[in-house]
Every structure is written in C-alpha cells, then in structure tokens.
Amino acid sequence: MLESSTMEMGKLYISLFIIFSMVSLALFFSEINHANDFKQYVNYQIERNGGLTGEAIEKVNNYNQEHFGGKFDIQSAQMNQKFSFGQEVDYTINTTHNFFFLPLLSRDISVKGSAISQIR
C-alpha cells in the first residue's frame, strides 16, 4: 500500500519537472524570437538613418524600452557613425534569459546582425 502512494508522488514530481522544463524551453525560444524581432527593427533604423547614428540609437532604445522592457543591449564598433549608401554596419544584440524555475541557470543570447545603409 505504501509503495503505490510513494510511486504516485514520484510520478507526480517527475511529471511536474517535465512540464516546467517544457514551459521554460518554450519561453527560451520565445526570447530568441523577440531578439529576432528586435534585430529586424534595428536593421530598419540602420537602413533609414545611414548607420547607428545618435538618432537611430535613440529610436532603438525607445523601442526597446516600450516593447521589451529594456532587456536588449546593442554593441557595435560602428556606433555614432553615419555611412554612405551601400556600406555595411555590423552589430550584436545581447540579452540574458533566466529560466523561471531554476534561477541558477541563465543563458546569454547573442544575435549578430548587419544592415546596409540606404542613405544617399
């Protein structure tokens, strides 16, 4: 009698762990999707402003705060420079994802991107 109730509790704990793991994994992939959405917006601003100019960085930071709560950070060696038509601007978007039921685990997400200046 005792074995069956112990076995049921074990199955319950294992099932909960698997469910939490799957939800956490889904949230991780959702975070990667958000990073790709943000990357698309950064590309658009680079194309429209001729690079990561001060105006483009301001628009990107405002968008980051409004839509993503400021969780993304852009790094580039080509910040605050204006480029002519056809020049490529490289950058990296960084964020950290914390798994909700295992706070010790965290993954750094880096998405590399590049866009071509469309300003003549």
CA dihedral 34, 111, 93, 77 (to 10 degrees): -160
Q: What is the pLDDT of residue 7?
A: 83
Q: What is the pLDDT of residue 107?
A: 77
Q: What is the pLDDT of residue 67?
A: 92
Q: What is the pLDDT of residue 103?
A: 66
Terminal-residue alpha carbon distance, the chain: 80
Strands (E), the chain: 73-75, 88-98, 106-116
Q: What is the pLDDT of residue 40?
A: 93
Query: pLDDT truncated to tens, each residue of the chain (120 aa)?
Result: 557 878 888 889 999 989 988 888 888 888 888 888 999 999 999 988 888 888 989 999 999 999 988 889 999 888 888 888 888 889 999 988 777 766 667 778 888 989 888 877
pTM listed for this prediction: 0.79
Nearest to 53, CA basis, from 19, 78, 74, 23: 78
Residue 70 DSSP symbol: T
